Amino acid sequence: MTSTPSISSFPTSAGKNATGNEATGNEATGHSTIGDKANPASGPRQPSRDEAMQAVETLLRWAGDDPRREGLAGTPDRVVRAYEQYFSGYRTDPVEFLQKTFEEAEGYDEMVLLRDIRFESHCEHHMAPIIGRAHIGYLPQNRVVGISKLARVVDVYARRLQIQEKMTVQIANTINEVLQPKGVGVVIEATHQCMTTRGVHKPGTTLVTSRMLGRFRKGDSTRREFLALIGNPGTQGSIGY
C-alpha cells in the first residue's frame, strides 16, 4: 500500500488555491461559506420522515428487491436514521463552535496545528462516502480556540453533501473569519468511494486539497513549516482507507 497513485490539487504556487483559481483577496473579510450552511427556511420544503422512508423503499424496489421481505422490513427506517447522522451538519452552525476562545494564552503566537482529524463525508454527486483526514494549522492573533472545536468544525462540514475542494475552503474560511488569525492552512486527504468502488474503480487513490490564507499563503516559511509538520501529504502513497 505504498506505491499507489495520488491525485493532487496541491497548489503549485503561492497564488493558487486548492482548485487552482487565483486568490480573490477577500479571505480576510469573508463573504464565503458561513452563510452557505443549509438554510431550511430558504430551501425546498423538507419532506416528512414517512416520505423519506417511502423514497428508500422506492429505491429498494428499483434495485430489484422486495421491500416486504423480512430482511428489508426495517431498512427504510434504518436508512433514514443513518441519514440523520450522515447529514447532521445541516442542522449545526460551525461558527458556534469557535465562539468560545481563550485570550490568555501567555502570548502564544506560534503555529497551532491539529493533524489527522479523521472524517466521513458524502460526495454530492453520488452520495458515496468520502473518507479521509484533515489537518488544520493557524497562527493565532490574541485568540486561541479549544482544539476539539477545530475537529467539530471539520465534522459539521463533513456531515453534509460535499465536494472535497469546497469542504477544504469552507473549513479554512470559517476559521479565518471567526478567529481572525494571522493565517490558516487546511489540507485534506481523502478517498472517494465513488471513484474506488464504482466508475473508474481505482482503489488506493487519494485526493489532496489545500487552502492557505494569510501568512500560510503569503509566507513560504510558514507554509513549509505547516506542510512539514503534517508530513507532506500526497507524497506517501495511500492513506489506507
CB 50 within 8 A of CB 58: no
Residue 202 contacts Zn ion per CB under 5 A = no
Selected range binding Zn ion among 16-24, 104-112, 120-128, 174-182, rule: CB under 5 A: 120-128
Our answer to whether residue 96 is catalytic in this structure is: no
Our answer to whether residue 201 is catalytic in this structure is: no
Q: Shortest distance, CB of residue 200 to Zn ion, whole angstroms?
A: 11
Our answer to whether residue 125 is catalytic in this structure is: yes
3-class secondary structure, 2: coil
Our answer to whether residue 122 is catalytic in this structure is: no
Q: Shortest distance, CB of residue 215 to Zn ion, whole angstroms?
A: 34
Residue 214 has phi, psi (to 5 degrees) of: 60, -130
- Looking at 18, 98, 123, 188, which residue binds Zn ion (CB under 5 A)? 123
Distance CA 127, CA 121 (A): 9
Residue 72 contacts Zn ion per CB under 5 A = no
Q: Which of 172, 105, 86 is nearest to 137 (CA)?
A: 172
Residue 209 has phi, psi (to 5 degrees) of: -130, 155
231: left (phi over 0), alpha (psi -120 to 50) or beta: left
Residue 194 contacts Zn ion per CB under 5 A = yes
Q: Shortest distance, CB of residue 220 to Zn ion, whole angstroms?
A: 34
Given the complex with Zn ion, which of 41 and 200 has the nearer CB atom?
Answer: 200
Our answer to whether residue 194 is catalytic in this structure is: yes
Q: Shortest distance, CB of residue 123 to Zn ion, whole angstroms?
A: 3
Residue 125 contacts Zn ion per CB under 5 A = yes
3-class secondary structure, 169: helix
3-class secondary structure, 218: helix
- Name the residues that contact Zn ion, by CB under 5 A: 123, 125-126, 194
